[in-house]
Amino acid sequence: MKGITVIVRKVSQLLAGVVFLYGIYIIVHGHLTPGGGFAGGAVISGAFVLVILSFGSEIQKLNKSETRSSLLESTGILLFLLIAAAGFFLGSAFFFNFLPKGTVGKLLSAGFIPLFNIAVGIEVAAGLLTIFLALLIYKDEEDR
Amino acid sequence: MDYRLPLFVIIPLGAAFLIPLLAKLFKRAGEWMAVLSLLALSGLAVYFVFLEKGARVYEVGGWRPLDGIPIGIYMVLDGLSIYLLLVINLIGFLSAFYSLSYMKKFTAESLYYTLFMLMIAGMNGLVLSGDIFNLFVFMEIAAIASYALVAFGIEKEELEASFKYQVLGGISSLLILLAIGLLYWQSGTLNLADLADVLRTNSNPVFSLFIQTLLIAGFGLKTAMFPFHAWLPDAHSSAPSPISSMLSGVLIKAIGAYVLMRLFFNIFALSYDIALVLAIIGTLSMVIGVLLAVGQWDFKRLLAYHSISQMGYVVVGVAMGMMILARNGDLQVASLAIAGGLFHLMNHAVFKSLLFLNAGAVEYAVGTRNMKDMGGLADKMPVTAATSLSASMAISGIPPFNGFFSKLIIIIAAVQAGYYVLAFLAVFTSIITLASFLKMQRFTFYNKIKSSWNGTTEVREAPFSMLFSMVVLAVLCLALSLLAIPSVRDAVLTPAVNALLQAGGYGTVILGK
Amino acid sequence: MIVYLLCMLLFLIGLYGVLVKRNLIKIIIGLAIMEYSLNLFLALIGYVRGGTVPILSQDLKTSVFVDPLPQALVLTAIVIGLATTALLLAVAIRIYKKYHTFDIREIKRLKG
């Protein structure tokens, strides 16, 4: 991590925000354009991985980030199950679409599919980040 | 629309992801959450078997069939599914209870329980799923959780075994995905009931044969049948013992034998050639498994080879029924053969997981798996020795234990149908199994006691939670012989057999409701 | 027809990698190539001649869409492939730490 120059660091600082925003765009428009939860989540995790790769990090901060992203991943899936169960309590079956469906092509339409996309996006981004951090921490432990 | 069906999937999935969160707050919350949720699930399964019988369906999202065409995702519970659910959840509960003490020797216990609950969720979802792609997805969830669990101890052998298991399991999953793609191409639908309908009316026989061959290769590897058995001895002997008992006792049945039965009886038209192929690989697994097991000195490797042979019994029983039905033979003999195969499935789950739990208890006390280094443990570990003796007698087919009855039913069905070679090989395998287990019992429990193991001369009995699971399973070994009595059999076994025999029955559950 | 044969060719190339290569990482890459070829095959099954992207919008010109169901299957299969590859790689780097080699001829403690 020592040989990264100032140019790479500056550009990655500027780009990480743009990549993050692009990932959010893909997730939220999942019911209108191709993409959705998984693709957007993968792009968001790319933003975090870019910053970690170009700046480096100490092992304690990586450990703390890994526990936090692992808990965020569990929270994402529990949110998913919560929305599914809400479909049961507010309607007739699990995964029943209980929000109003709106008109085709608008952002706030298609019931609860945007909510599912957001939950899956959080989960995938946190999951991929956890995998990356776990492998990085393992390599660091092995180097000692 | 029975809302309790998705609970079989949602409860373990929710528990799996609550465990890491709760483990941050309370130290032992993870273990108890796993055990209690599995207890609830097995109670639900027992309730469905004995108290509220009958097939039921759950339309996810409330999407009912449109003009008689099922367009949504359905979860179907018929006789065979509830039979498998009973096996999965009961053995899961007992293994989880056993691992309360066994996993104290490992670190990161909360991750273990997360993966365990994910495996249970995958198997439950597979058995309940009503369309073939959901079946694939749940199978992958269970399989990936099991790959991680085999490597849990992170020793050299466990990692190597897990890698081999993953590569072979990955190839078989890809073959299954190819078969699913080809099935969709041919029929335009993924729902199992609709698929059965479409394949009955118009199907290209050569294409169908190719798809069936791919499915036999893919699921045959998951069931550890003869040409595809190479991963099982390594994976099942290197895993931690409660995971070995789950893998050998439940996983190879839920993602292997169950899917073979469901696809070849209910979906594809019965064909004599496919049944003959299944019967041949079943017989080969039976014989080769037991012959390879005789020379083993590693306790758990011996048990893993015997798993191959006993799963051969299950597949032989079911394939015999398929052969008889495909030739329009005697319905009574066919249903007897299938009943024997399914009965042996439950029996094998019980006594094989008991044997693996015993191996774990011995390893916990003594520290080795090599039978040449053991001896005389019957005085020091009386409960383990007694349960191990009952499991060995059950697997060798000695009355009044359950193994005797299921093997007897398969042999009688083989003789009545005229397959004398099969009957002879079944009896021969049983005799060699008896010899192998006599050797195991003698070297482990009844030889002269050694002077020291692992630096200690003190060998104590296993802790309470391990003993509880082993005693419950040993009692079940005796109690399951009662399934041969007609009144008990009609409650548990006959719905499962009927679900397979009525080929079109699966469709009416979804469309008729 | 030719595209399906090319997908199967890619599958066989991946299978060659898994069977013949001796480095653990090359085996993993072979398995990944097999997965990608099957995802491609599944996505190509749903092609309808003259069809367009299966997205409903306000200004539709044609009414012939490509089949969207195999595309949903492929999305799921890609995620499953990701999980499989991630787990394989995690086990592979731990094997490297224990055995100090990636060569499968050396990793042979379980026999018999």
- B18–A74 CB contact, under 8 Å: yes
Chain C residues within 8 A of A33 when measuring between CB atoms: 55
Whole-number Å distance between alpha carbons of B249 and B256: 12
Sign of CA dihedral B481, B487, B492, B495: positive
Element (H, E) at B273: helix B272-294
**Structure confidence at residue B302 (pLDDT):** 92
Chains that touch B (3 or more CB pairs under 8 A): A, C
Quick: pLDDT tens for B65-84.
888 788 888 898 888 899 99
CA angle B163, B168, B169 (to 5 degrees): 95
pLDDT at A133: 92
What's the pLDDT at B270?
Answer: 86
Nearest to C97 among A105, A131, A142 (CB): A142
Q: Is B167 on the interface with C (CB under 8 A)?
A: yes
B151 touches chain C (CB under 8 A): yes
Domain definitions of chain A by residue range: 6-143
Q: What is the pLDDT averaged over residues B373-383?
A: 81
Q: Are B121 and B16 in contact, with CB atoms under 8 Å apart?
A: yes
Across the interface, which of C53, C78, C86 has its CB nearest the CB of A131?
A: C86
CB A26, CB A38: distance < 8 Å: no
State the SS3 of B128-172: HECEHHHHHHHHHHHHHHHHHHHCCCCCHHHHHHHHHHHHHHHHH
Mean local confidence (pLDDT), B123-134: 92
Q: Is B72 on the interface with A (CB under 8 A)?
A: no
Q: Does B301 touch chain C (CB under 8 A)?
A: yes
Q: Is the minimum CB–CB distance between B161 and chain C shorter than 8 Å?
A: yes
> pLDDT digit string (tens) for B27-67?
778 888 889 999 999 998 888 888 877 788 888 887 888 88
Contact of C22 with chain B, judged by CB distance below 8 Å, is answered with no
Closest-CA residue of chain B to A94: B61
Distance from CA of A128 to the nearest CA of C (A): 9
Distance CA A120, CA B327 (A): 50
Taken in order of first residue, the domains within chain C and their CATH numbers are 2-48+64-99 (1.10.287.3510)
Could you give the CA distance from residue C25 to residue B486 in angstroms, rounded to a whole number? Answer: 56
Inter-chain touch C98–B156, beta carbons under 8 Å? yes
pLDDT at B423 over 80: yes
Give the tokens for residue B275. 């049944």
Measure the CA–CA gap between B95 and B450, rounded to whole angstroms: 30
Phi and psi (nearest 5°) for B270? -65, 130
Segment B116-139 shows an average pLDDT of: 93
How many of the other CB atoms lie within 10 Å of CB of B102? 23
For chain C, the C-alpha Rg in angstroms (whole number) is 19
Residue A95 with chain B: CB contacts under 8 Å: 60-61
Hey, which residues does B456 pair with through a beta bridge? B453
User: Is B144 in contact with C107 (Cβ distance < 8 A)?
Assistant: no
Task: Give the residue-averaged pLDDT of B139-158.
Answer: 91
Shortest alpha-carbon distance between residue A74 and chain B (Å): 5
- Residue B36: how many other CB atoms lie within 10 Å: 13
The DSSP code sequence of C84-106 is HHHHHHHHHHHHHHHHS--BTTT
The b-or-e profile of B38-65 (16+ CB within 10 A means b, else e) is bbbbbebbeebbeeeeebbbbbbbbbeb
Give me the total of CB pairs closer than 8 Å, taking one residue from chain A and one from chain C. Answer: 25
What angle (nearest 5°) sits at the alpha carbon of residue C76, between those of residues A117 and B33? 75
CB-based contact B170 C84, cutoff 8 Å: yes
Q: What is the pLDDT of residue A87?
A: 85
Residue B221's φ and ψ, nearest 5 degrees, are -70, -35
Interface-testing mutation among C13, C21, C45, C87, with chain B (most B C-beta atoms within 10 A): C87
ipTM of the complex: 0.96
Chain B residues near residue C35 by CB distance under 8 angstroms: 170, 174
Query: How many C-beta atoms surround the C-beta of residue A115 within 10 A?
Result: 15
Tell me phi and psi for residue C41, to 5 degrees: -60, -45
Shortest distance between the Cα of B185 and any Cα of chain C, in A, equals: 6
Of chain B, the percentage scoring pLDDT greater than 90 comes to 47
Phi, psi dihedrals of residue B218, rounded to the nearest 5° = -65, -55
Note the pLDDT tens digit of each residue in A114-138.
999 999 999 999 999 999 999 888 8
pLDDT at B161: 92
In whole angstroms, give the CA distance from residue B286 to residue B308. 7
pLDDT grade for B450, boundaries at 50, 70 and 90? low
Distance in Å, alpha carbon of A7 to nearest chain C alpha carbon: 31
Q: What is the C-alpha separation between B41 and B46, in angstroms, rounded?
A: 9
Q: Is the pLDDT of residue B127 over 50?
A: yes
Residues B437, B447: Cα–Cα separation, whole Å:
14
Q: Which two tokens stand for residue B72?
A: 């949504």
Q: Is A34 on the interface with C (CB under 8 A)?
A: yes
Interface probe with A: pick from B17, B18, B154, most Cβ of A within 10 Å? B17
Residue A37 Cα, gap to closest chain C Cα (Å): 11
- Residue B43 CA to residue B56 CA, distance in Å, equals 18
Q: Hey, what long-range contacts does C5-10 have (CB within 8 A, 24 or more apart)?
A: C7/C37, C7/C38, C7/C40, C7/C41, C7/C44, C8/C37, C8/C41, C10/C36, C10/C37, C10/C40
Residue A97 distance to chain B (closest CA, Å): 7
Smallest CA-to-CA distance from B37 within B5, B6, B14, B58 is with B14
| Percentage of chain A exceeding pLDDT 70 | 97
Q: In terms of CA atoms, which chain A residue is nearest residue C86?
A: A131
CB contact under 8 A, C58 and A131: no
On the 0-12 / 13-18 / 19+ scale of CB atoms within 10 A, B21 is middle
Which of A74, A75, A92 minimises the CB distance to B62?
A92
Residue A104: per-residue pLDDT? 77
Considering only alpha carbons, which residue of chain B is nearest residue C71? Answer: B181
pLDDT at B376: 77
Residue A98 and residue A16 in contact, taking contact as beta carbons nearer than 8 Å: no
What average pLDDT does chain A have? Answer: 87
Min Cα separation C110/chain B (Å)? 7
Q: Closest residue of A to B63, CA-based?
A: A96
**A104 inside 8 A of chain C by CB:** yes
State how far the Cα of C14 lies from the Cα of C8, in Å rounded to an integer. 10
Nearest residue in chain A measured CA to CA from B22: A71
pLDDT at B513: 45
Lowest pLDDT segment from A12-21, B220-229, B296-305, B374-383: B374-383
First-residue to last-residue Cα distance in chain B: 8
- Which pairs from B31-35 meet CB under 8 Å and 24+ separation? B31/B96, B31/B99, B31/B100, B31/B109, B31/B113, B33/B113, B34/B96, B34/B113, B34/B116, B34/B117, B35/B93, B35/B96, B35/B97, B35/B100
Which pair of structure tokens corresponds to residue C72? Answer: 């949903």
A144 touches chain C (CB under 8 A): no
For residues B214-218, give the mean pLDDT: 94
Residues 30-59 of B with CB under 8 A from A: 58-59
Q: What is the pLDDT of residues B179-212, one digit of tens each?
A: 999 999 998 888 888 888 888 887 788 899 999 9
Query: Which residues are within 8 A (CB) of B475 and not within 5 positions of it... i.e. 6 or more apart?
Result: none
Neighbours of C26 (CB within 10 A): 15
Radius of gyration of chain B (CA): 22
**Secondary structure (DSSP) of B344-403:** HHHHHHHHHHHHHHHHHHHHHHHS--BGGG---HHHH-HHHHHHHHHHHHHHHT-TTSHH
The domain segmentation of chain B, as residue ranges, is: 7-512
pLDDT greater than 70 at residue B452? no
Separation in Å, CA of B177 to nearest CA in chain C: 8
Distances (CA, A) of C31 to B166, B251, B279, C34, C84: 10, 23, 31, 5, 10
Task: Provide the pLDDT for residue B454.
Answer: 54
Kindly tell me if the per-residue pLDDT of A75 is higher than 80.
yes
Structure tokens given for B421: 């070679």
Rounded Cα distance, B413 and B225, in Å:
21
Cα Rg of chain A (Å, integer): 18
B426 pLDDT more than 90: yes
In chain A, what residues touch B13 (CB-CB under 8 Å)? Answer: 77, 81
Dist. CA B271–CA B260, nearest whole Å: 14
Model confidence at B151: pLDDT above 60: yes
| Interface membership of B13 toward A (CB under 8 Å) | yes
CA B55, CA B487: separation in Å to the nearest integer? Answer: 20
Q: Which residues of A touch C55 (CB under 8 A)?
A: 32-34
Q: Is C48 helix (H, G, I), strand (E, B) or coil?
A: coil
CB–CB of C11/B151 below 8 Å? no
pLDDT digits (tens, 9 = 90+) for B398-415: 888 888 999 999 999 999
A104–C56 C-beta distance less than 8 A? yes
Asked whether the predicted pLDDT for residue B222 surpasses 90, the reply is yes
Q: Using the beta-carbon criterion (under 8 Å), do B61 and A71 form an inter-chain contact?
A: no
Interchain CB contact of C38 with B (< 8 Å): yes
Q: What is the mean pLDDT of chain B?
A: 88
Specify the amino acid at residue B460: R
The band of A3, judged by pLDDT with boundaries at 50, 70 and 90, is: low
User: Which residues are paired to B77 by β-bridges?
Assistant: B56
Nearest-angstrom CA–CA distance, B116 and A108: 39
C73 touches chain B (CB under 8 A): yes
Kindly write down the DSSP assignment for every residue of B306-341, as one continuous string.
HHHHHHHHHHHHHHHHHHHHHTT--HHHHHHHHHHH
Which residue of chain A comes nearest to C94, CA vs CA? A138
**Of A38, A134, A138, which has the smallest distance from its Cβ to C79's Cβ?**
A38
Q: What is the pLDDT of residue C74?
A: 94
**Which residue shows structure tokens 């009952």?**
B390
Exposed e or buried b per residue across B111-141, where buried means at least 16 C-beta atoms within 10 angstroms of its C-beta: bbbbbbbbbbbbbbbbbbbbbbbbbbbbbbb
